[in-house]
Structure 1
Amino acid sequence: MSVDIDELAKRLETQVLEDARDVFSETVIEYAYNPRNMGELSEADGVGRITGTCGDTVQIQIRVEDERISESGFITDGCGTSIACGSRLTEMITGKTIEEALTITSDDLLRSLDGLPDEYVHCSVLAVNVLREAIADYRELGSDKQT
């Protein structure tokens, strides 16, 4: 019996996507499979990193110009939902002032992803908490630069 590995991989990928569509919105799937802003920024002005209760670690870096987030990036060792949340959140904050970014809640992130199943909501909370830590780091580093 001959098995075509490429064909088997394609069938498995199709099945995984079909199963994901039973649970997640197309928006979540898109951001999980095609993440934006994934990767570390060189010379970030602020960095936040938290390991959630689920074991996923998310890190967000921000670059700030004139109190506005000019660029952001994230890395995670987490699941597809953590990837989707980090990816979408970095899109949401880029171009916003620090104060505007601080007003973003996990509910805002959930809405922008067309929701998450209850057991994955913690991923949106984690991402927003990491953002707040990155902003706190920026503010702390900024005050050090001025002294």
Structure 2
Amino acid sequence: MKVVDRWFEDYDIGESRATVGRTITEADIVLHAGQTGDFFPHHLDAEWMATQPAGQRIAHGTLIVSVAVGMTAGDINPQAMSYGYDKIRFVKPVFIGDTITVRADITEKSDHKRTPATHGYVHELVTVTNQRAETVLVLTHLYLVNKREVAA
């Protein structure tokens, strides 16, 4: 990774980036269950899930959020930080062996309410798809971004 200064003014609505694929493994699911304490049978009980509509174990939604956000993390930008996530939707299940890819599109920019001269928000629509090009997750990633200093 490299450090890249990218200011609020440098982001353009409509710009997009995409990742390479990442296959979700059983180890991913087991580790996530241990880290979060979410041992629900939907994720860990293959026999029980064989009797359910999905037919097999599914990855935790929070695992897919974490992996997808990590996949979009690239260069270090000291001018921006993650402010949070909105409108998270788990559209379809992700199964062991599925390969996900992520597309991130800048959809909106807005001024910070309290410090509009120095800060703004950048909204990034994150769309996660599986190897069949089916959307499995969508969310909006919000960044708090510094503005270039206003000339006196």
TM-score by length of 2: 0.27
**As a proportion of its length, which structure holds more helix?**
1
The structure with the larger Rg is 2
TM-score by length of 1: 0.28
**As a proportion of its length, which structure holds more strand?**
2
Higher relative contact order (CA 8 A, sep 6+): 2
